[in-house]
């Protein structure tokens, strides 16, 4: 590999490799030490082609989810069986690995900007800005959508189709359009324990001794020509276990979120009543 060889986005691969190495060594203990990451499905990763694969996952923190996937993907491709033992798998990382992230998140400080160099394909949220819901949705930036195709043509892409770290929020139809139009192999991932382990950004440890889990499932069976957008959305919801039917067994963190919302609503009501 030439010293200044670049990927399709202009990133120098030698520099990208060293950033992955440094962050890999710095974060390994977060998933195998302070906490324990339980993995299922390493063999699925080893059976995938090198390009044109889209990973879809539920989302619990801004950065820890992706960092854990970088560890698991590289460890699995180096022969680890459902394990991230022996950190030296990160010495020769998979460089054509990308993840879709909100542009405003990746610009919020020097650390996210460095992490963006690792493989972020940034997109502008059409429904939300600076933590607030927009009254009118913005138009989709087609250049940014095209960048996802560029990343798929070059390698693997991770996306979080709910577009938020909150559980059981609707799947964004943009992901279904990407699947139908670009026809990638779609691999579902279900994660848990990250919200309890880390703060919302996934940069700081919140609790130690948490059992984290990551389940990599077999690729989805999708009829790219005949499946409708709504059918693809439902398949994605079921695959990453965010379909409303899963609410029959309500996760503890979802209950806590609802309690917090109820408290805020009550507080707002009494403040309004005082006026």
d(CA 152, CA 97): 9
pLDDT-derived band at 275 (thresholds 50, 70, 90) equals: very low
Per-residue pLDDT of 2-48, as tens digits, reads 678 999 999 999 999 999 999 999 999 999 988 889 999 999 999 99
Per mean pLDDT, which of 102-111, 112-121, 239-248, 262-271 is the most reliable? 112-121
Identify whether the C-beta of residue 56 lies closer than 8 Å to the C-beta of residue 161. yes
Burial class (CB in 10 A: 0-12, 13-18, 19+), 203: middle
Spell out where 65-131 has E strands.
Answer: 97-102, 120-123, 128-129
Please state the domain extents for the chain.
13-242, 247-274
pLDDT tens figures, 119-154 = 999 998 765 555 555 556 667 788 888 999 999 999
Note the pTM of the prediction, 2 decimals. 0.84
Domain range 13-242, its CATH number among 3.40.1130.10, 1.10.486.10, 3.30.1490.20, 3.90.420.10:
3.40.1130.10
Q: What is the Cα–Cα distance from 100 to 93, expressed in whole angstroms?
A: 19
- Per-residue pLDDT band for 269 (boundaries 50, 70, 90) equals very low
pLDDT at 70 > cutoff 80: yes
Question: What is the chain's mean pLDDT, rounded?
Answer: 87
Question: Could you give the C-alpha distances from 109 to 105, 149, 200, 205, in angstroms and in order?
Answer: 9, 27, 15, 19
Q: What is the mean pLDDT of residues 102-128?
A: 85
Neighbours of 118 (CB within 10 A): 21
């Amino acid at each position: 590999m030439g010293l200044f060889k670049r990927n399709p986005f202009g990133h120098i691969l030698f520099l990208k490799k060293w950033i992955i190495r440094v962050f890999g060594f710095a974060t390994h203990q977060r998933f195998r030490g302070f906490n324990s990451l339980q993995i299922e499905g390493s063999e699925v990763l080893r059976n995938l082609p090198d390009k044109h694969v889209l990973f879809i996952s539920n989302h619990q923190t801004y950065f820890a989810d992706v960092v854990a996937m970088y560890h698991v993907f590289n460890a699995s491709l180096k022969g680890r069986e459902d394990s991230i033992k022996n950190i030296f798998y990160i010495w020769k990382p998979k460089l054509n690995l990308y993840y879709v992230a909100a542009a405003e998140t990746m610009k919020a400080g020097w650390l996210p900007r460095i992490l963006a160099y690792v493989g972020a394909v940034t997109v502008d949220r059409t429904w939300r800005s600076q933590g607030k819901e927009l009254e009118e949705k913005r138009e989709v930036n087609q250049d940014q959508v095209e960048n996802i195709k560029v990343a798929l043509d070059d390698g693997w892409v991770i996306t979080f189709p709910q577009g938020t770290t909150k559980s059981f929020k609707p799947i964004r139809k943009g992901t279904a359009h990407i699947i139908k139009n670009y026809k990638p192999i779609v691999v579902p991932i279900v994660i848990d324990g990250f919200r309890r382990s880390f703060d919302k950004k996934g940069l700081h440890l919140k609790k130690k001794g948490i059992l984290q889990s990551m389940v990599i499932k077999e690729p989805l069976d999708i009829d790219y020509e005949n499946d409708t957008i709504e059918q693809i959305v439902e398949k994605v919801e079921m695959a990453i276990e965010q379909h409303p039917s899963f609410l029959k067994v309500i996760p503890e963190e979802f209950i806590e979120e609802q309690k917090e919302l109820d408290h805020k609503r009550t507080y707002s009501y009494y403040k309004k009543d005082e006026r």
